[in-house]
Amino acid sequence: MQLRQALHAAVAQLEAAEIDEPRISAEVLVFQVINCDRAYLFAHPERELNAEEQLQYESLVSRRASGEPLQYVTGHQEFWKADFLVTPAVLIPRPETEHVIEAVLDLVHHHALGPRLKLVDVGTGSGAIAISLARELPQAEVHAVDLSPAALEIARTNAQRLAARVFFTQSDVLASIERDSSYDFVVSNPPYVGLNEADKVQEVVKHYEPHMAVFAGEEGLDVIRRLIPQAREALRPGGWLLMEIGYTQAESVMALLATWDDVHAVSDLAGIPRVIVARKPTSGCDHLE
């Protein structure tokens, strides 16, 4: 079968399955099978797929047609200028989470911090946040924790592939980390979807992505409520906590940070509050929430 024929059949199959952007999925999966780019695809539409390539392509297309996310089918997702390996053991990194990276770098620049900073990423998943910060801040000491051993395995592999120096620890939030007031930053993309809004979550997320990385109690705040006091113990006076949040949670999360300093929200490109930033007080009574 020629490339053009295989691609046409794949697009038709994906359209019939009502998959979003079927042409893009069909092309990306072709790139995966024959290790080519779009220029090659259009320059050589008559290129014959051998039997093994055809079977592999049909298998990948069938997985995508079943609703499996394209990132899990290919095993890859771009995030912050790097290619990350992803599996169903980890949440797929999303562009919105890049606002966490931007917010950290803005604080480092604005406050002339570093270069020998100490950071910890809570619920690291694929390692996207921790590894991106380690690459941007090469002299920083970067730690990352996750409760899932399978997720940590993926994160360690990504760190090795991307030449990032990150120290990984299995931990339920920060329970297994020495919270010794030595960290400059605690960052996290925690699970923040409430069970009370599960019906609003995309079907692909509910069926394919790890529930422990998505849902956090009835209101989606269970992990955040635990993270805030633990982060306060871990941070040095004047250290920063940054958390990605759900689009309706800014007011609730900021209320939990009432005794912190400089609490504010960073909005995404749509103007939706996406990251909550808070600073541990530098003086006075430092009680836990």
Domain interval for residue 119: 79-279
Examine the fold and report which residue of 67, 90, 122 is the final residue of a domain before the chain moves on: 67
Q: Are residues 135 and 61 in the same domain?
A: no
Residue 264 lies in a domain: yes
Q: Are residues 164 and 225 in the same domain?
A: yes
Residue 118 predicted with pLDDT over 90 = yes
Residue 245 lies in a domain: yes
Query: Beta-carbon neighbour count of residue 157 at 10 Å?
Result: 15
How do residues 163-210 score in pLDDT, each as one tens digit? Answer: 999 999 999 999 999 999 999 999 999 999 888 887 777 888 888 999
Cα–Cα distance list, 125 to 9, 23, 44, 210, 231 (Å): 35, 29, 39, 10, 18
Residue 225 lies in a domain: yes
Q: Are residues 253 and 191 in the same domain?
A: yes
Classify the phi-psi angles of 210: left when phi > 0, otherwise alpha if psi is within -120 to 50, otherwise beta. beta
Q: CATH number of the domain that 15 lies in?
A: 1.10.8.10
Residue 211 predicted with pLDDT over 50 = yes
- 247: phi then psi, degrees, rounded to nearest 5: -70, -15
Give me the number of domains the chain comprises.
Answer: 2
Residue 287 lies in a domain: no
Q: Are residues 126 and 236 in the same domain?
A: yes
Q: CATH number of the domain that 212 lies in?
A: 3.40.50.150
Residue 274 predicted with pLDDT over 50 = yes
Could you tell me if 274 and 244 are in contact, meaning their C-beta atoms sit under 8 angstroms apart? yes
- Average pLDDT of 151-155? 98
Residue 119 lies in a domain: yes
Residue 122 lies in a domain: yes
Residue 156 lies in a domain: yes
Binning pLDDT at 50, 70 and 90, where does residue 114 land? confident
Q: Are residues 134 and 237 in the same domain?
A: yes
Could you tell me if 187 and 128 are in contact, meaning their C-beta atoms sit under 8 angstroms apart? no
Binning pLDDT at 50, 70 and 90, where does residue 286 land? low
Residue 254 lies in a domain: yes
Examine the fold and report which residue of 67, 89, 118 is the final residue of a domain before the chain moves on: 67
pLDDT given at position 284: 57
Q: Are residues 35 and 59 in the same domain?
A: yes
- Virtual torsion, Cα 131, 136, 141, 146, nearest 10 deg: -20
Q: Are residues 112 and 31 in the same domain?
A: no
Q: Are residues 205 and 113 in the same domain?
A: yes
Examine the fold and report which residue of 13, 32, 67 is the final residue of a domain before the chain moves on: 67
Could you tell me if 84 and 91 are in contact, meaning their C-beta atoms sit under 8 angstroms apart? no
Q: Are residues 96 and 196 in the same domain?
A: yes
- 19: phi then psi, degrees, rounded to nearest 5: -85, 135
Nearest 5°: CA angle at 266, between 262 and 272? 135
Q: Are residues 31 and 128 in the same domain?
A: no
pLDDT given at position 31: 93
Q: How far apart are CA 284 and CA 203, in angstroms?
A: 48
How do residues 14-60 score in pLDDT, each as one tens digit? Answer: 999 999 999 999 999 999 999 988 899 889 999 999 999 999 999 99
Q: Are residues 29 and 166 in the same domain?
A: no
Q: Is the pTM of this model over 0.85?
A: yes
Q: Are residues 34 and 97 in the same domain?
A: no
